Amino acid sequence: MTSTGIRDRVAIVGMGCTPFGEHWTKSIDDLLIDAVTECVSSSGTRLDDIDAFWIGTKDSGQSGMTLSRPLKLDHKPVTRVENFCATGSETLRNACYAVASGAYDSAMAVGVEKLKDSGLSGLVVGAPPNDGTEPDLTPPAMFSLLAPAYAARYGLDDEQMKDVLTRIAWKNHANGAKNPLAQFRKPVSLQDIRESPLVAGMLGVYDCSGVADGAAAALVVRAEDAYRYTDRPMFVKALGLASGPADGAMRSDYDYTTFPEVVRSAQDAYRQAGIDDPRSQISMAEVHDCFTPTELVLMEDLGFSGRGEAWQDVLDGSFDLDGDLPVNPDGGLKSFGHPIGASGLRMQYEMWLQFRGEAGERQLDAPALGLTHNLGGQPGACVSFVSIVGAEPTPA
């Protein structure tokens, strides 16, 4: 992979994020208006002055009019994007490249998803008319395949594996309890997590992220213009994306203990950002903890832990809020649920707050570089996005 990257050429100068949760009284339009309005006001600009928009949603709308209609945008270019559960990150990636190209002075990335109105449990993956032969696993079943494979490869017994997964859910709920925007804002005991009813494989209810509604937005401008909008802009260091050949369920050498797509997107992002030791150079990470074993495997695929070592790092508390590399300081998908189009931007929102010193009880000590990771698909067949953002531009 040979992306040149756009290190420090664009910056985020405003953000908005709604509370995530069961918004029975708010529509898709309401959520969009709330997120965009907060984003615009945080950047001290006017909606009319923004040149272009990217709106991401998997199922809550089609076309750019998903955004232009509720906000009455005046014939601006608006593109709807979709990239499975990485949709929110995809909006930001497109907006950043649009500004970096020089085509626009400013662009807004917006993501929204309203899941609760369907009345269904969990996510639903739609498909074009087909021959009815695709495996029909529910999302927890897809990701539950990671747990026994990881345990077998690295010699953990079921009890140890359950302890590791439980520890991840416990940590993310503890962080979410400190976040006023989270869907679940209460700590959950290790015992309650461990004993929750089984959903798929060894995954219990508390090993799964919730189902929520939400929206988030980010305003992107050229880096040299950033300080005209805010005195604390967030600089984009790297945007890595890898779409896999989706052959894990077809080739016998795939063992369900890794996401090759994550490894590749991370390598790309690290090269763009000039990172060679992510564990020590990155101050904080928001990762796609759709299910607890996903976060475990991500720690290794992102290079935070060596192969077969993430489970010990998890148990040691390395990724806790007070660990050496806090992961999901905002509570993650575990505490926020996963309104698909919004999640990738919600991750950026935590970076934004942390760099600005506005993260309240969760505030980390002077973070310099942050990583966000968004995943769409399933083990063996997914798209993976990794961004690196920073509080300061790199000295020339």
Partner 1 sequence: MQGLLSHGIYVPHYRLQLAETRAALGAGPASGSRAVASHDQDSTCLGYEAARRATARAAVTPAGVAFATSSPVYADRTNATAIHAALDLPRAGEALDLGSTPRAAFGALRAAARSPEPALAVLADQRDGLAGSPDELLSGDGGAAFVFGEGEPVAEVLADASVTQEFLDRWRAPGEPVTASWDERFGAEVYGPLVDEVVRLALERAGIEQPDHVVVSSPHRRAAAAARRRLGDGAPTWIDREVGYTGAADLGLRLADVLERARAGETILVVSAADGADALVLGVRRAAGGTSGTPAGHTTDISYTTFLTWRGRLERERPRRPDPDRPAAPPSSRNVRWKFGFVGSACEACGAVHLPPQRVCLACHEVDRMQDRAMRDARGRISTYTVDRLAPSLDPPTVDVVVDFEGGGRFSCQLTEGDAQAVRIGDAVEMTFRRVFAYRGVHNYFWKAKPVLEAQTT
Residues near partner 1, by CB under 8 A: 119-122, 124, 127, 129-133, 135-138, 140-141, 144-145, 148-149, 152, 198-201, 245, 247, 249-252, 254-256
CB 247, min distance to partner 1, A: 4
Alpha helix ranges (H) inside the chain: 28-42, 65-71, 87-100, 139-144, 146-154, 158-176, 190-194, 260-273, 278-281, 292-301, 310-316, 332-336, 340-356
Instruction: State the catalytic residue, choosing from 17, 39, 85, 382.
Output: 85
- CB nearer to partner 1: pick between 112 and 199: 199
CB 112, min distance to partner 1, A: 21
First to last CA, the chain: 25
CB 248, min distance to partner 1, A: 9
Could you give the CA distance from residue 261 to residue 63 in angstroms, rounded to a whole number?
A: 28
- CB nearer to partner 1: pick between 35 and 208: 208
CB 133, min distance to partner 1, A: 5
- CB nearer to partner 1: pick between 253 and 277: 253
**Backbone conformation region of residue 274, classed left if phi is above 0, alpha if psi is from -120 to 50, else beta:** left
CB 256, min distance to partner 1, A: 6
DSSP secondary structure string, 192-249?
A: HHHTSPEEETTEEGGGB----BEEEEEEEEEGGGGGGT-SS-EEEEEEEEEE----TT
- CB nearer to partner 1: pick between 204 and 240: 204
**Residue carrying the six token digits 């993430």:** 310
Packing angle, helices 340-356 and 87-100, rounded to 10: 60
Q: Tell me how crowded residue 340 is: count the other CB atoms within 10 A of its CB.
A: 26
Tokens representing 343 are: 């999640």
CB 329, min distance to partner 1, A: 29
Angle at 388 between CA 385 and CA 393, to 5 degrees: 150
Clarify whether 85 is annotated catalytic: yes
Which residues are CB-contacts of 192 (< 8 A; sequence separation ≥ 6)? 206
Instruction: State the catalytic residue, choosing from 23, 338, 373, 382.
Output: 338
Closest CA to 375 of 88, 140, 20: 88
CB 196, min distance to partner 1, A: 12
- CB nearer to partner 1: pick between 126 and 180: 126
- CB nearer to partner 1: pick between 138 and 160: 138
- CB nearer to partner 1: pick between 41 and 118: 118
Which residues are CB-contacts of 156 (< 8 A; sequence separation ≥ 6)? 150, 164, 311
* Residues assigned a catalytic role: 85, 338
